[in-house]
A and B are shown apart, each in its own frame.
Chain A
Amino acid sequence: MVGREVRRPFLSEPRWVRMLLTTVALVFLASFLALPIAMVLAQALKKGFAFYLHALSEPDALSAIRLTLIVAGVTVPLNLLFGVAASWAITKFDFTGKKFLITLIDLPFSVSPVISGLIFVLLFGAQGRLGEWLGDHNIRIIFSVPGIILATVFVTFPFIARELIPLMQAQGNEEEYAAVTLGANGWQTFWKVTLPNIKWGLLYGVILCNARAMGEFGAVSVVSGHIRGLTNTIPLHVEILYNEYNFTAAFAVASILMLLAFVTLALKHWVEWRAAKDAASSEPGAETP
């Protein structure tokens, strides 16, 4: 049990230094976080609550919300599968090219999202070879929903794998070995031993992945083509409204993303708290006589 730390006078700074640091931190937070949030809300509700609701229930806005949900609904399960498979492979097996795979997983983090989008435009767009073939067969990827999903999957795939790899490395393979000697097959070992041990890390990864999938702008903007009511996600819809000087509506739609951010934060906090609680109860040092 970690008790509340006792303040040791000889280790703490003078009172005015503490006050100064706290003030700086608070002012910074207020001006860069609280103020914008208040602004978004104030702007969104400027023309009254009825207008706010109207801005959200207007067909184009509804279509953007629907598309964002579809994109996240497809992307997150795909990356969940990929993330678990990749971290399982990396932490439980030895194979050539393992280091290369780890580097590849990090790639979307190191590439600008706009470039990520451009890759898909070049790959599947009308000017590419593949694009010609796709055009002949009447398959649309760029400027349509599949392209948006592809770009989002690409941008968000490191989240879950990155979360799980260090966790699974720290846990080692002994419990899995034990399960196998007791007669469990690979599938049983995964469901009954591995998954329960990584569930909080996995959930944390899913939350981050979902937040990014819903909020992604750059890559999606390049591949979407901004067709109103068809290929606009929430962030793109906000941009269009803003560019049309429809500020109140833009802020109203933006407030949905803000709400998502709050929900994500709360969930993230809850998962961390649960994981810490679980970790504390399975601490090897905690012994009863």
Chain B
Amino acid sequence: MSIGIHQIVKKFGNFSALKGIDLNIETGELLALLGPSGSGKTTLLRVIAGLEEATSGQVFFLGDDVSRQKVSDRGVGFVFQHFALFRHMNVLDNIAFGLRVRPREQRPSEEKIKEKVHELLKLVRLDGLAPRFPSQLSGGQRQRVALARALAIEPKVLLLDEPFGSLDSKVRKELRQWLRRLHDRLHMTTIFVTHDQEEALEVADRVVVMNEGRIEQAGTPDEVYHKPANAFVYNFLGNVNLFHCRLEGGKAYIANTPVSIKVGVSPEAQKAKIYIRPHLLEISRFSQPDSFKGVIHFLNSAGSVAKVEVLSEWGEIVQVEVPQEQFRSLGLKKGETVFVTLKDAKLFHEDYAI
């Protein structure tokens, strides 16, 4: 089912949580709402579900305005951040709840309900756990019960609020790949909220980056990662080093080191910020054109890449990620002087405030 969001504004007293959101979600799409806490992503999800009423603006399901419709009539499957399982009911009763509260004429027989619950338990790979209580399940199992419970009412859209937020990192990695596969099977329009950029980029068809109640950029994971609309998006989607630079004659100068990168900002700009990811910096032992000098301040080679912190000649710490092979062949030691080259960087106007 397609969802249209038109000029949604949500105010809590004087605080504007959403400042005019426009967004269209295609049928069958898996969309991530990504942003830091306080960016309004959860509020937007709750407005779509009807758990929160927008101050102004409309929500459309398949072109119909549902803004004034009650939550219980919208037919959304909502998975809460802390699962919100009914603690006094076992897994079977939890999943069956949505079917059992239906008006008598729409309610399936108790036999059909049980059949459906077992089908769903198989789908979320929890067969045999029907008699357990939520307190007897692990975090990941609770998460999947919550999902099965939401799916039981055959929702038109599935909304997940930080679905893996309270799980440990190993479980969350497994679960998000599983969610992706599940979505590929069910093709249900799905929106999930996350503050974890890795999760959003890995799972979603499209990522909507939000900040302070606005959408900064919406696009495929590729687009937002490689063609960030602004400094905020670039900064939020991974570790970055920030350099303040001066522009002169088509060249950028950090302190007094000239750096040749394509200047993407308007030519009359005098100051800009350069953002560069740690893996797009290169360390060498000898001076290169457009390189700057620094001293190795900290080394950590545990992990898939070695992390090196270089104290630059203008006194700032610069983070560099070096592939393990190169790290070994360079034989870097703490306190050594090295040269750092910028392979690719993003330039943004100085006036852009993060």
Chain A residues close to B by CB (< 8 Å): 174-175, 177-185, 188, 192-193, 196-197, 278, 281-284, 286-289
Contact = CB atoms under 8 A, between A and B. Distances in A.
B82 A182 contact: no
A177 B70 CA distance: 12
A35 to B, nearest CB: 44
Interface stretch (B83-91, B218-226, B305-313, B343-351): B83-91
B258 to A, nearest CB: 57
A150 to B, nearest CB: 36
Nearest to A288: B136
A183 B102 contact: yes
A183 B49 CA distance: 12
Given A178-B84, A184-B72, A287 B51 contact: no
A196 B88 contact: yes
B143 to A, nearest CB: 13
Contact of A177 (B51, B77, B101, B139): B51
Q: Which of A178, A188, A278 has the most CB of B within 10 A?
A: A178
B77 A181 contact: yes
Given A193-B86, A282-B87, A182 B153 contact: yes
12 contacts: A182-B72, A182-B150, A184-B97, A185-B72, A192-B97, A193-B86, A196-B88, A197-B87, A281-B135, A282-B87, A287-B139, A288-B136
B136 A174 contact: no
A282 B133 contact: yes
B138 interface: yes
Contacts of B133: 281-282
B98 interface: yes
Contact of A182 (B51, B88, B97, B137): B97
Contacts of B80: 174, 177-178
B47 interface: no
B54 interface: no
Contact of B153 (A183, A282, A287): A183
Interface residues of B, number: 30
A181 B135 CA distance: 22
B116 to A, nearest CB: 14
A282 B71 CA distance: 28
Contacts of A278: 88
Contacts of A184: 72, 97-98, 101
Interface in B306-345: none
Interface in B148-180: 149-150, 152-153
B76 interface: yes
B134 interface: yes
Nearest to A185: B72
B86 A178 contact: yes
B81 to A, nearest CB: 9
B88 to A, nearest CB: 4
B234 interface: no
A1 to B, nearest CB: 13
B11 to A, nearest CB: 14
Contacts of B153: 182-183
Given A177-B51, A286-B135, A286-B136, A182 B84 contact: no
A179 B82 CA distance: 14
B192 interface: no
Contact of A288 (B71, B98, B102, B138): B138
Given A286-B135, A287-B139, A289-B138, A181 B49 contact: yes
A286 B134 CA distance: 10
Nearest to B102: A183
Q: Which of B82, B135, B138 has the most CB of A within 10 A?
A: B135
Interface in B196-233: none
Given A177-B51, A177-B84, A282-B135, 18 more contacts: A174-B80, A174-B84, A178-B84, A178-B85, A180-B72, A181-B76, A181-B150, A182-B149, A182-B150, A182-B153, A183-B72, A188-B101, A197-B87, A197-B88, A281-B133, A283-B135, A286-B135, A288-B137
